A = this chain, B = another copy of it.
Amino acid sequence: MPGEFDFIEAYLSERQTLRQDVQLALGDDCAIVCPPQNARIALSTDTLVGGSHFLLSAPPEWVAHKALASNLSDLAAMGARPAWMSLALTLPELDESWLRPFFDAFFALADDYGIQLIGGDTTKGPLSISLTVQGFVPQDTALLRSGAQVGDRIYVTGKLGDRKAGLDVILDPSLRSKPFASELEKRHFLSTPRVDFAQSLLGIASAAIDISDGLLADLQHILSRSQVGARIDVSQLPYSNEMAAFVGNQVTARQYALTSGEEYELCFTVPVQYASYVERELAGETELHCIGQIAPQGELVLHDAGHAVDWALSGYDHFKASK
C-alpha cells in the first residue's frame, strides 16, 4: 500500500522527537543507530491483533497507548531506558480518521519516554500492531526474572485489578450501569508503564517482571526461573476503591488483583537487607506494597493475614495453589 505508506511516512517525519543516537531513520533499506559504549541493548516485541487484543470499535488513541505501553512495560521490567522502536502496522484500509488519533496518541506517549520510531513496515490486511522496542541497560545490572532468593520480600507497584474490571465492561456492555464502569473501561487501555521507577530498582531488586498476564501468572514466571516458591498475603493486595465498588465484594476484588492482566505494574523481589531502603526511599513517589515473601521451591501459598484461603483460580498455566 504505497499511498498509505507515503501518508504515514510524511506524517511521521513531522511528528517525532529526534534522538542524537539515530543516524538514519525512515527512508532507506534499514535504519542505522549508534548504541552507547558498553551498553547492553534490551529488546522486546509485542503484537496486538484487532478483534482479539482489542475490539475494533475501541478508540484508536486508546489502542495506540495500549500497544506502546505494553512494550515500554517490558523494557521497564528489565530496568531498561527506552531508545528506539520499529512498528509493523497491518491495516485493512487507509482511514485517516483512525490513523491520525492513533499516531497522535502514539507519539505523545513516545515523546514522554524519549523513544524514537526508526523503522517499520505498513501492509494491507487484518488490523494488527506489532512493535519491537529497544532500550539500554548498564552492563550486568538488568532486572531479570531469575534472581529471587528464599526470604526476599515481594513487592508490587500501584493498584491491581482495574484492567480486568475494565475488560468486563468491554465484553459485556450491560455492566455499564455498575459503579465506575466507564472509568474502568478507560483504565483498561491507559496503564502507565513503570519505566522511571524501574531505574531505581537496578542493583536493589533481585528479580522483576511486569504484570501483563496477571500477578499470579507473572509471579509464577519469577518462581520458575528462580527455582523458588512464594507465600502471598492476599490481605495486602492493593486495589482501587473504584474496582472494589464495581465488583461489590472484597474476595472478588482480591481475586481480580491477583489475576488481572495488562496492568503494566511491576512485581519485584528485594533481599531483606534492602527492604527498609525500598520502603523508606522508593515508596514515597511510587505506591508500593509488600505482598509476601519468597519461599522454597514447590511452595506457593495464598493466605489472608495467616489464615488459609482456598480459591480456585483457573486459566493460568502451571498455577496450582498449595497450602
Contacts and interface: CB of A to CB of B under 8 A. Distances in A.
A47 B88 contact: yes
Nearest to A73: B29
A99 interface: no
A28 B144 contact: yes
A45 B225 contact: no
B125 A28 contact: no
Interface residues of A, number: 61
B32 A44 contact: no
Contacts of A28: 78, 144-146, 225
Interface stretch (A34-42, A103-111, A246-254): A34-42
A24 to B, nearest CB: 7
A297 interface: no
A52 interface: yes
B32 A35 contact: no
Given A28-B144, A31-B43, A52-B125, 5 more contacts: A29-B75, A31-B42, A34-B41, A90-B128, A125-B128
12 contacts: A2-B317, A28-B225, A30-B44, A30-B78, A30-B142, A31-B42, A31-B43, A35-B41, A45-B121, A49-B126, A86-B132, A126-B126
